[in-house]
Amino acid sequence: MFSPGQIFRILTIQRVLIRHGLDEIIFATHLFRPIRFVFYLLPWNWFRRVHEPRAERLRRVLEELGPIFVKFGQILSTRRDLLPADIAEEFARLQDRVPPFPGRVARSIIEKAYEKTLDEVFLEFDETPLASASVAQVHAARLKDGRDFIVKVIRPGIETTIRRDLELMYFLAKKADIYYSKGRHLRVSSVVKEFERTLLAELDLMREAASASQLRRNFINEKQYYVPEVNWDLTRRNVLVMERISGIPVWDINGLKKAGIDLKWLAEYGVEIFFTQVFRDSFFHADMHPGNIFVEWSDTDQLPRVNVVDFGIMSSLNEFDQRYLAENFLAFLNRDYQRVAKLHIESGWVPTGTRMDEFESAIRTVCEPLLDRPMKEISCGDILLRLFQTARSFNMEIMPQLVLLQKTIVNIEGIGRQLYPDLDLWKTARPQLERWMNDRVGVRGVIKGVMENIPLWLDRLPGLPGKAIDVIEHLHDGKIQLENKSRDIEKLRHEMRIYNKRTVRAVIGSGFLLSAAIIFGLDNYVPAMFAGAPVVAWVAGIIGITLLILSTGE
């Protein structure tokens, strides 16, 4: 049952829907279609007004319902595999701008978090916020040592508001799943759940601080890409203190030109950094809109420095996701649609009963028009979107991290082509894709996989001979009872011989690799051990890897 406050909120939502003429959409659903005549009896429908397009009305409804619904619309705008194009485009215009709460309230929250007055912590604190959004607002501050920092403060009472509105969203989503004709396909409830996870994560500023710290560590040696430093001593769950950065906003094209910044370099560097995050680090900034990127340059610098802020939405990819992206992108570049279809079916992304020829044909139909143009005009984000839409029609469940990736690629492409219209994203990204494939699938990938698994193999080695003997004894017992009774027994015996050979090769190969590792280690500490030690170690390593590879085949 709903509380009085929630009932009042439901009535408010209904009133807003009616005001924007969306009661017509409600009565068109499966649930209300039998009583659609009631729609025409409602007094406000006797003289119908001319309304704006459907998408614009929906956007205005979300804006009127408040910041939580605005953020939900923003999340929905990234799910272009679910929404009609007109609604997705309109929702992308939603702005997370909320009137600030009083500076004295922010001061009170911070002092409560620190259990001391602000004068004891900061040299200066500006109660006028620099920016204000639905979940938090940002103030400028100066530490006792004179360094400039920003202080991000969670809005008071926002968690209660969020949970109240989420309850209503779940209620409406469940009804949509049941009564809306496309509800099951859209999986509205799962979208709300994804939104809940993202929104509640933003309430924990310790999490955002940890993400910023991780990204900073990943690029600590990169001079042209800068992530501000977190002050961990002053950061709490509802208060984040981070180094204040400066620079020209990346959307200020005229300002960048006046500063003499090479826009072509900047566009290509942004793409390169993003794909480095995705494929080298498996951890990327998933909120790369123009307001979060600043460019700093002085006359003494050879190249400008890109400063990034706002680490509330980050995402990571496992090796499975990375391979999905790399192999599919490269297959698209080669127009190998059969390879794309095969990858999806073999990996289990689409049901095993899916006909490959039908899936391949569907992919070709939606992607060929995109690829039939110069490479610099092909949108990487659009290709991913088309792939998601096609795969979903074959019952593929799209992973949230891939949706965030697609959204971020669209943002990076948009920024890059605003800076430099002739940006060839594929030319910039392809080396990263091929490098990752070589590292994971090529010879280097095999060697790396072997080296990573050596500890596991060594741990299991002592038990292998005993297990092999047990299997052989069981086979021997079976042979005595059933010799020449069945062809299956002979097949089993053949398989066991192969298994024994593989076991021997694995044991010997692991021994060679272990010996190589020991020789290399001793040579580091006892350089004069013997002159040919490195050569012996390399030979032993190559023999070991060869035997281990052979142990995986007949």
Dihedral angle, C-alpha 59, 64, 66, 68, nearest 10 °: -20
User: Cα–Cα–Cα angle for 92, 97, 102, nearest 5°?
Assistant: 165
Residue type, 401: Q
DSSP secondary structure letter of residue 119: G
Q: What is the largest CA-CA distance in the chain?
A: 99
266 within 8 A of 252, measured Cβ to Cβ: no
Tokens linked to 54: 């459907």
List b or e across 525-541, with b for residues whose CB sees 16 or more CB atoms inside 10 angstroms.
eeeeeeeebeeebeebb
Selected catalytic residue, list 23, 165, 287, 310 = 287
**Rg, the chain, Cα only:** 30
Active site residue 126: no
In DSSP notation, 395-462 reads: TPPPPHHHHHHHHHHHHHHHHHHHH-TT--HHHHHHHHHHHHHHHHTSHHHHHHHHHHHHHHHHHHGG
Rounded-to-integer distance, Cα 437 and Cα 447, Å: 14
Which burial class, exposed, middle or buried, applies to 368 when counting CB atoms under 10 A from its CB (0-12, 13-18, 19+)?
A: exposed
Chain position carrying tokens 């911070």: 110
The residue whose two tokens read 């998601």 is: 388
Between CA 369 and CA 120 the distance in angstroms is 63
Nearest to 39 by CA among 63, 31, 188: 31
Which residues are CB-neighbours of 83 under 8 A, at least 6 positions away? 76, 77, 91
Active site residues per annotation: 287
